[in-house]
Amino acid sequence: MGYPFPPPTAECVCIDFTSDTSIKNAFERVRFAYGNRIASVVHLAAYYDFSGESSPLYQKITVEGTERLLKELQDFEVEQSG
């Protein structure tokens, strides 16, 4: 049976998708600890509101956050993304 939590050797690198600095610092940490190659990126961070009302968080997190992430990934060798 698998672990109920990530294994002890796993590292959580927290990212605030609304902050250029946060994403830059997170990827600097990844590069420092693990190098320039990333096996896979799975991006699931997004904002969605079931009320159907317009929210600036959609633009800030889903659109601009994805742009920030892709910008930082340009400096890495990524084998697979989705």
| pLDDT tens digits, one per residue of 31-49 | 999 999 999 988 899 998 8
3 part of a folded domain: no
- Domain assignment present for 35: yes
Residue 73 domain flag: yes
Domain count, the chain: 1
Note the pTM of the prediction, 2 decimals.
0.80
Lowest mean pLDDT among 9-13, 14-18, 74-78: 9-13
Report if residue 11 sits inside a domain.
Answer: no
Q: Residue 7: inside a domain, yes or no?
A: no
Residue 37 lies in a domain: yes
As a whole number of angstroms, the distance between CA 33 and CA 64 comes to: 26
Question: Does residue 46 fall inside a structural domain?
Answer: yes
Owning domain of residue 33: 20-81
Report if residue 76 sits inside a domain: yes
Q: What are the tens digits of pLDDT across the range 44-77? A: 999 988 888 889 999 999 999 999 999 999 999 9
At 1, the pLDDT band (50, 70, 90 cuts) reads: low
- State the DSSP string of 15-81: --TT-HHHHHHHHHHHHHHH-SEEEEE--------TT----HHIIIIIIHHHHHHHHHHTTSEEEEE
Chain centre distance of CA 41: 8
